Every structure is written in structure tokens, then in C-alpha cells.
């Protein structure tokens, strides 16, 4: 494998101060230069170590890319749900509140997942396990917001109808939601048993 080095890369001083200003494009360029340098240094690591870290990074990115897509779709679905046709004002208020919380929650999940994907994509592979330990503090936010968004969509779908249909469909929706959680929990337990 041949690595092409830019003459400017030799002049990178990793001790240069890096600020956290999101708008500083020169600083962003400098960060990418440092990442490039670290990736070159990383190629000297054990080949298996590089492959293992790449696998972890790729899987994490796939999971949270899916969460970004799903959160965006959930948000769009909740925005697109028509107003409730129910005659009861309390049901209409509940419908609108659940819908609003679902939209905000799915947006939060998308923001956290998108931020995580962007940072992980830029992260040199040699630091993926250290980053993973920090990232895990926030990793449940997208998962829980996605689950809540699904629940909000199901409840809103039920609350759209007149009272008679709503009371017929609502229990089925709740059973389906909890059955979905049961399936996830069963598969997760099996995964844990397999990797122990």
C-alpha cells in the first residue's frame, strides 16, 4: 500500500492549539490534517488490531446511520399524520400532545445520531475503543427516542378515529408495541448468550 504524503503534512505540529469553535474553518482543516497524520501512524499497528477496530467502527456507524434515517422518517410520519377526527376534545388534546412529543423526540434522536456518525467517521481508527467508552453515555438517547417515536405514531394512529374505532384499535396497537419490545429483548438476550 503506497501512501501519498502532502508536503504540508510534514509541517503539522500536533501540539498546535485546537479550539472548539464550530465556525472556524481553518481549525477544522487542521483537525483533518491531524487525523490524516494519525491514520498514517496507525498503519504501523498490528494488522489484526486495525481490522478489528475498523469492524467496530463500521458496525457502530451502520447502527446509528439507520437510527438517523428512522428518526427522520418517524418525524416526517408524525408531521404528516392528519388531525384527529374524534369528537372528544380531551382525545384531540392527547393526540396533539403525543404527536408533538413524538416529533421533538425523533428530532432529538436524529441530532444525536447524526452528530455521533459525523464524529465517528472522522475519528482515527486507533481511538475507536476510547471513543466508544465516552459515546456509550449518550448511545441510549437515539434508541429511546426512536422507540418513543414508534409508540407516538401508533397512539396517534389510534386517536385519529372516532371513539368506537379508537377503542377497538388502541388495545391492539399497545399489544403490538409491547410485543415488538419483547422480540427485541429476546434477540438481545440471545446475542449476549452467544458472545459470553
- Per residue of the chain (196 residues), what is the pLDDT tens digit? 333 444 444 444 445 566 666 566 676 677 767 766 776 666 666 667 777 788 888 888 998 899 999 999 999 999 998 888 888 999 999 999 999 999 999 999 999 999 999 998 888 888 888 888 888 888 889 889 999 999 999 999 999 888 899 999 999 999 999 999 999 889 988 888 887 6
Contacts of 188-192 with C-beta under 8 Å, sequence gap 24+, read none
Cell digits for 172? Answer: 391492539
Q: What phi and psi, each to the nearest 5 degrees, are found at residue 112?
A: -65, -45
Indicate the DSSP class of residue 88.
-
- List CB contacts of 160: < 8 A, sequence separation 6 or more: 81, 82, 83, 84, 85, 86, 95, 166
Question: Residue 10: what pLDDT?
Answer: 46
Contact 35, 27 (CB under 8 A): no
Question: Residue 24: what pLDDT?
Answer: 67
Cell digits for 41? Answer: 501512524
Question: Residue 21: what pLDDT?
Answer: 63
The residue among 119, 105, 6 whose CA lies nearest residue 61 is: 119
Give me the helices (H) in the chain, please: 25-42, 47-80, 89-122, 128-135, 140-159, 163-195
Question: Residue 156: what pLDDT?
Answer: 93
The pTM of the full predicted model, rounded to 2 decimals, is: 0.74
CB hemisphere CA count around 22 (13 angstroms): 2
Question: Residue 3: what pLDDT?
Answer: 39
Amino acid at each position: 500500500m503506497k501512501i501519498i504524503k502532502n508536503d504540508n503534512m510534514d509541517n503539522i505540529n500536533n501540539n498546535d492549539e485546537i479550539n472548539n469553535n464550530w465556525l472556524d474553518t481553518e481549525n477544522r482543516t487542521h483537525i483533518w490534517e491531524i487525523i490524516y497524520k494519525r491514520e498514517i501512524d496507525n498503519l504501523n499497528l498490528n494488522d489484526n488490531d486495525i481490522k478489528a477496530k475498523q469492524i467496530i467502527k463500521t458496525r457502530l456507524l451502520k447502527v446509528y446511520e439507520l437510527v438517523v434515517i428512522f428518526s427522520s422518517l418517524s418525524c416526517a410520519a408524525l408531521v404528516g399524520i392528519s388531525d384527529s377526527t374524534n369528537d372528544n376534545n380531551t382525545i384531540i388534546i392527547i393526540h396533539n400532545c403525543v404527536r408533538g412529543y413524538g416529533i421533538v423526540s425523533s428530532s432529538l434522536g436524529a441530532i444525536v445520531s447524526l452528530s455521533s456518525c459525523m464524529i465517528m467517521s472522522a475519528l482515527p481508527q486507533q481511538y475507536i475503543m476510547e471513543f466508544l467508552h465516552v459515546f456509550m453515555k449518550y448511545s441510549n438517547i437515539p434508541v429511546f427516542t426512536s422507540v418513543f417515536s414508534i409508540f407516538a405514531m401508533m397512539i396517534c394512529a389510534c386517536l385519529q378515529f372516532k371513539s368506537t374505532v379508537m377503542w377497538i384499535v388502541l388495545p391492539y396497537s399497545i399489544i403490538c408495541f409491547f410485543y415488538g419490545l419483547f422480540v427485541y429483548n429476546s434477540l438481545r438476550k440471545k446475542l449476549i448468550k452467544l458472545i459470553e
